[in-house]
Amino acid sequence: MSSKRDYYEVLGVTKTATPDEIKKAYRKLARQYHPDVTQEDPKVAEEKFKEVSEAYEVLADEKKRQLYDQYGFAGVDPSYAAQNGGG
């Protein structure tokens, strides 16, 4: 099992980032790692693209972001807590 990186770290933004800053960071990284345009290894780029998309999905949604800030990955992914002995 691979460990997840902090969503703020993935997008390269601070925890006080505005929704516009999060969106801008996501768009930049999504273009960079999109499997159709990247210069990187397609498998690596696909994994990074998925990671960036997952981070954006949580941080762009006010309720999910609040849960993530309060509980970490367990707040937005119940299976994560179960896999890691939390709950």
Closest CA to 48 of 20, 11, 18: 11
pLDDT computed for residue 42 by the predictor:
85
* Residue at token pair 């790692």: 33
* pLDDT bucket at 38, cuts 50 / 70 / 90: confident
pLDDT digits over 53-63, tens only?
A: 999 999 999 99
Average pLDDT, the chain: 88
pLDDT digits over 69-83, tens only?
A: 999 999 998 776 556
In this structure, what token pair is assigned to residue 38?
A: 């990247």
pTM of the model: 0.83
**CA-based radius of gyration for the chain:** 14
Dihedral angle computed from the Cα positions of residues 72, 42, 22 and 11, in that order, rounded to the nearest 10 degrees: 50
Closest CA to 26 of 18, 82, 78, 83: 18
* pLDDT bucket at 84, cuts 50 / 70 / 90: low
